[in-house]
């Protein structure tokens, strides 16, 4: 079955950096687009970054120039490098994959940015 396990979250001061990882299993990772989403308290889950199987990437306007999504198909892992973090980046971050009409999610990792 599909399994996604995020790690790398934590508490960081504004301006700092974190690198999130998402280890995937249960599907052919190399052919799937991978997503990073986040959900802040009281807000809807929002798409942060996308990495296609061909290597194309896309970002939410709010993180462009600060976040970088990458993937290692040999390790079945997708990463999110987050630099110049802001308090408004505080959220639970989730990786996701879509199979047909369904999205599969990890358990999430908390990122807290203090001012």
Give the C-alpha separation, 53 to 66, whole Å.
22
Give the C-alpha separation, 95 to 53, whole Å.
15
pLDDT number for residue 58: 98
Q: DSSP string spanning 25-56?
A: ESS-GGGS-EEEEEE-TTS--EEEEEE-TTS-
pLDDT number for residue 30: 95
Question: What average pLDDT does this structure show over 64-81?
Answer: 98
pLDDT number for residue 31: 94
pLDDT tens digits, one per residue of 13-66: 999 999 999 999 999 999 999 999 999 999 999 999 999 999 899 999 999 999
Mean per-residue pLDDT over the chain, rounded: 97
pLDDT number for residue 94: 98
């Amino acid at each position: 079955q599909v399994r996604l396990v995020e790690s790398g979250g934590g508490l960081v001061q504004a301006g700092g950096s974190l690198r999130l990882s998402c280890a995937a299993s249960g599907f052919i990772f190399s052919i799937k687009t991978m997503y990073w989403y986040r959900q802040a308290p009281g807000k809807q889950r929002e798409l942060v970054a996308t990495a296609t199987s061909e290597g194309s990437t896309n970002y939410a306007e709010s993180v462009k120039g600060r976040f970088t999504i990458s993937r290692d198909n040999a390790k079945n892992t997708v990463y999110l490098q987050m630099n110049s973090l802001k308090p408004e980046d505080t959220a639970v971050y989730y990786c996701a994959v879509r199979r047909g009409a369904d999205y599969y999610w990890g358990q999430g990792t908390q990122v807290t940015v203090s001012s």
